[in-house]
Amino acid sequence: MTTESSAASAEASSPSPGPRPRPVRRAPTDLPFRFADKGLAQALAAERAEPDWLRAERIAAFEAFERLPIEPNQLYTTYLDLRNAELSDVRPYLRTASAPNAIASTRLPDGVAGLIDLREDGVAGLVLEPAAIAAGVILETFGASLARDPDGLRAELEGGDGLPDDDKLAALTRGFWSQGIRLHVPAGIRLERPIVMRWAVGVADRALIARTRISLGDGAEATILEELGPSGVIPVDAGQSLLAGSLEVTLGRDARLEVASLQELPPTTIAFQHRHAVIGEGATLQWALAQLGSRLVRSRVDNRLEGDRSSVEQVEIVFGGNDQLFDLTSYTRHVGRDTTGNLLSKGALMDRSRSFMKGMIVIDRSAIGTDSYLGEFGMNLSKATRSVAIPSLEIDQPDCRRAAHSSSVGPIDESQLFYLESRGIPPDEARKFIVLGFLEPVVARVPLEDARDRLRERLEEKWDAGTGAGATAAA
């Protein structure tokens, strides 16, 4: 056999190379991070030599995190999509800062009763007006509570009024928090000016996991302004960061709380948010939530109307651009008699952004005389956007004043455009007026005038950036 024929025979007998292995693709519901394990829960407990009860709480939360699904609802297809989140290299903060380095230098802004300013894992400012301190109002970090009043913090964290027990990401926050805010307003105390809570994040490859606990005694009243924004100048090509946070509310009899939240996180940040409220007899809660920033937002709001004659009003808006994704879920459970719920979600989407608005109203058998409404409305401003609205009702008590839901998704109403243009308003300006008016219900509920003006400016800036109006004006 010749050398040439031997080579040909060897080539023929050698196995042909198989197909190249494809990279493993992450499913839409696969978590984009790997840091949440039992070792982290133990490390967080050891960082401040936490008491045994808190260590046990963290371990129990980790076990729940391991077994729970990412989307616990059987009424609709799971729309949660975490593929935009790339958090495999993210490292969580461990430090639980208690107070700012120079508390005496913290200045209370005009028109504000209290301010707590948290930047990444540190406390940049913490101040409360003397009148509120004298009235017994408490505004402090979880670290300060562990040192000053561990039994009080334990009662709040283990009292059953906190995060939902059927949600994987709620268990993440419960088990792995490193920072927290505690606000307590005693019975009968009415704060005339709002308390501002600022969270600033965005450092690449870092995760801040935090909780906020707010409790109002019988007859107490307060207003909260929550501001979520960048901790500095974040490069657009920086690695992603994570903010996983909760806001947990307990309202006593005839208490009244207004909460406005402005989310303007950098486009490199992934946000997991939970808001949970237990509303007592005759108490009133108002939510005004604005979602503007972040690459991906997964938000869940739980309202539990336990007391007779309790009520909740919730308005949430989304203004999306580029490839932002907003996943918003709202659950409201009516337990007491003659309770009232009025919930409204609105989303305006540009470019390739997406929003999923999912809501559920549950009326228990005990909830005689319920009046509840859920509305979800999406406005698509380009053909590449996608908006999904899924309101739902579960009624176990037929004796209701009202149980209703509605939804719609579509472009700008042409009849509205025609009306404005017939009054001499140019088409581009008319579209802008319609979109900003669509989002105004949340803006009007922001408690501080400066914050309202800033939100309106941000909405206009986002509109101009998405439509090119700013560049046209500059030219």
Contacts of 422 by beta carbon, 8 Å cutoff, 6+ apart: none
Summary mean pLDDT of the chain: 89
Greatest alpha-carbon span in the chain = 104
* 276 lies in the same domain as 295: yes
Burial, 160: exposed, middle or buried (Cβ in 10 Å; 0-12, 13-18, 19+)?
exposed
For residue 204, the enclosing domain spans 91-414
* 319 lies in the same domain as 457: no
The answer to whether residue 350 is domain-embedded is yes
2, pLDDT greater than 70? no
Confidence tier at 470 by pLDDT (50, 70, 90): very low
The answer to whether residue 257 is domain-embedded is yes
Among 88-97, 247-256, 362-371, 461-470, the least confident range: 461-470
- Please compute, for residue 183, the number of CA atoms within 13 A of its CA located in the half-sphere on the CB side: 33
Of the three residues 414, 430, 445, the one that is the final residue of a domain is: 414
Let me know how long the chain is: 475
* 182 lies in the same domain as 99: yes
Of the three residues 414, 430, 456, the one that is the final residue of a domain is: 414
Of the three residues 381, 399, 414, the one that is the final residue of a domain is: 414
* 328 lies in the same domain as 423: no
The answer to whether residue 446 is domain-embedded is yes
The answer to whether residue 49 is domain-embedded is no
* 429 lies in the same domain as 366: no
* 197 lies in the same domain as 278: yes
* 343 lies in the same domain as 456: no
> Which tokens belong to 218?
């019988």
| Mean pLDDT score, 238-251 | 95
pLDDT at position 235 is 85
* 410 lies in the same domain as 429: no
The pTM of this model reads 0.90
| Cβ 79 vs Cβ 388: under 8 Å | yes
The answer to whether residue 34 is domain-embedded is no
The answer to whether residue 44 is domain-embedded is no
pLDDT at position 474 is 37
| Cβ 410 vs Cβ 380: under 8 Å | yes
Separation CA 444–CA 453 (nearest Å): 10
Contacts of 185 by beta carbon, 8 Å cutoff, 6+ apart: 137, 191, 215, 216, 217, 220, 221, 222
* 334 lies in the same domain as 425: no
Contacts of 439 by beta carbon, 8 Å cutoff, 6+ apart: 290, 317, 319, 346, 348, 459
The answer to whether residue 77 is domain-embedded is no
> Which tokens belong to 308?
């007779």
The answer to whether residue 343 is domain-embedded is yes
Closest CA to 443 of 242, 292, 218, 234: 292
* 409 lies in the same domain as 419: no
* 150 lies in the same domain as 193: yes
| Mean pLDDT score, 431-456 | 89
More confident residue, 264 or 5: 264
Closest CA to 295 of 324, 333, 272, 317: 324
44-55 pLDDT, tens digit each: 888 778 899 999
Separation CA 173–CA 58 (nearest Å): 10
Among 20-24, 29-33, 111-115, the least confident range: 20-24
User: Helix, strand or coil for residue 354?
Assistant: strand
Q: What does residue 423 show for φ and ψ, rounded to 5 degrees?
A: -95, 10
pLDDT at position 223 is 96
pLDDT at position 91 is 94
Closest CA to 205 of 96, 86, 31, 97: 86
Confidence tier at 362 by pLDDT (50, 70, 90): very high
| Cβ 162 vs Cβ 171: under 8 Å | no
User: Helix, strand or coil for residue 186?
Assistant: coil
Confidence tier at 473 by pLDDT (50, 70, 90): very low
- Could you tell me if residue 369 is left (phi over 0), alpha (psi between -120 and 50 degrees) or otherwise beta? left
Q: What percent of the chain lies above the pLDDT cut of 70? A: 90
Separation CA 294–CA 304 (nearest Å): 28
Separation CA 365–CA 217 (nearest Å): 27
C-alpha to C-alpha distances, 307 to 213, 310, 337, nearest whole angstrom:
20, 6, 7
Sort strands 256-263 and 221-230 into parallel, antiparallel or unpaired: parallel
> Which tokens belong to 359?
């809501």
Q: How many domains does the chain have?
A: 2
* 314 lies in the same domain as 362: yes
Among 38-42, 134-138, 362-366, 435-439, the least confident range: 38-42
pLDDT at position 21 is 57
